[in-house]
Amino acid sequence: MNIRRWLFVSGLGVLILLAIVYGFLPKPVAVDVIRIARGPLRVTIEEEGETRLKERFVVSAPVSGFLRRILLEVGDPVKEGQVVAQLEPLRSEVLDPRSRAEAEAAVSVATAALRAAEEDSRAAAADADYARRSLERRRNLFDSGVAPKDSLDQANADARRTEARRLAAEASVKGARSDLERARSRLRYSAAENGAPSDRLVEIRSPVRGSVLKVHHESEGVVSSGEPLLDLGDTGKIEVQVEVLSEDGVRIKPGTRVVFERWGGDSALDGEVRVVEPAGFTKVSSLGVEEQRVLVIADILRGDEASSRLGDGYRVEASFIIWEREDVLQVASSALFRKGEDWAVFVVERDRARLRKVQVGHRTGLAAEIVSGLEEGEKVIAHPEESIDDGTSVRPRT
């Protein structure tokens, strides 16, 4: 009986000891496992861009004047040479009571001066007529030998002098008439009387075939010389401007392929970089960080009619393709970590994590090219934890 009891107690103690030992044994770490495979890999630089017209024309007033109302609206098509705006001469000022009284008095003075000049002209004409007839009589007497030569010369001089006075008097009449017209014009062309002559217009024509992009001055009114009136352009000639970081701009060059996405259409649009501007500029990001950026200009390769729906100032997302291959051995970027100065991964071998250094080539945000260190089909830990080390027991999550 004692032997049975001893055996029972001994067996129970062994079971308890085994349970304690099992409790302290390290359990396998649950991990996410991915398989190394080959596939296409593309390295891109992604930034937001904005469309703009290749050629934008600002139609301005060539001279100061009174602009007639512009009937064109944004989006209206225009032809080259089409009249898009009309300028009238500037309107005269409105005369206040004192100015009007002065103008009317000036008209009265000019009218009296004209009458005096006309009377002087008639007197001068009479003197000239008398001198001309006297000259004819003296010439007849001289020809018959009755009058001397001095008498004929005197009559000739008198005729010329009186003719000159007549011409001067006629010129004075014209001047007095012009003064009267000038005095009357201040009253006639006052803004309170009537507007500018409608037959004296400056027509402003479109320099290009395209569409109206913006109307700066729609209503009629006075405009100054050089003041912008309309923005015109051909919406069929669109390019995309993208602001990229200067370190990314160094990697982009003319001819680089671009893919434009999220522009509003169902499919992406292909493009090509035309210019990387040589001058950079400083821009403050939304987080308040100063960034050095450079402007990249790209053309849209119109293979889809849907791209014609893009206009000036539309938002697009541009992906500059820096490098791409169709068959690349690659691994998820989350599986990589630094081991000293090298890249490393944990390879799963017989439910154990084995540390292995690898050589990495091109990288994207999601995947990296494996140059050496891994083979196709091998399994690696997708998100290695700090608790995992070389030889740690692991089990894949289901």
Q: Each residue of 327-340: pLDDT tens digit?
A: 999 999 999 999 88
Residue 323 identity = W
Give residue limits of the domains in the chain.
27-55+235-398, 56-91+197-233, 97-188
Q: Does the pLDDT at position 250 exceed 90?
A: yes
User: Is 27-55+235-398 in CATH node 3.30.360.10?
Assistant: no
| Predicted TM-score (pTM) of this structure | 0.64
- The b/e string for 137-163 (b: 16+ C-beta within 10 A; e otherwise) is ebeeebeeeebeeeebeebeebbeebb
Q: What is the rounded end-to-end Cα distance, in angstroms, of the chain?
A: 51
Q: Please, which pLDDT band fits residue 8 given cuts at 50, 70 and 90?
A: low
**Rounded to whole angstroms, how far apart are CA atoms 390 and 347?**
9
E strand or H helix that includes residue 187: helix 149-188
**Rounded to whole angstroms, how far apart are CA atoms 194 and 188?**
8
E strand or H helix that includes residue 244: strand 238-245
Question: CB-based burial of residue 30 (10 Å sphere; 0-12 exposed, 13-18 middle, 19+ buried)?
Answer: exposed
**8 A C-beta contact, residue 333 and residue 364:** yes
User: Is 56-91+197-233 in CATH node 2.60.40.10?
Assistant: no
Question: CB-based burial of residue 125 (10 Å sphere; 0-12 exposed, 13-18 middle, 19+ buried)?
Answer: middle
Q: Each residue of 221-246: pLDDT tens digit?
A: 889 999 999 999 888 888 999 999 99
- The reply to whether 27-55+235-398 and 56-91+197-233 are identical in fold is no
What pLDDT score was predicted for residue 181?
A: 85
Least confident piece of the model among 41-55, 182-196, 236-250:
182-196
How far lies 172's CA from each of 85, 114, 186, 371, 391, in Å? 44, 8, 22, 104, 122
**Rounded to whole angstroms, how far apart are CA atoms 210 and 54?**
12
> Residue for token digits 């035309």?
274
Tokens for 325, please give them.
């291959």
**Rounded to whole angstroms, how far apart are CA atoms 345 and 397?**
18
Tokens for 81, please give them.
């040479």
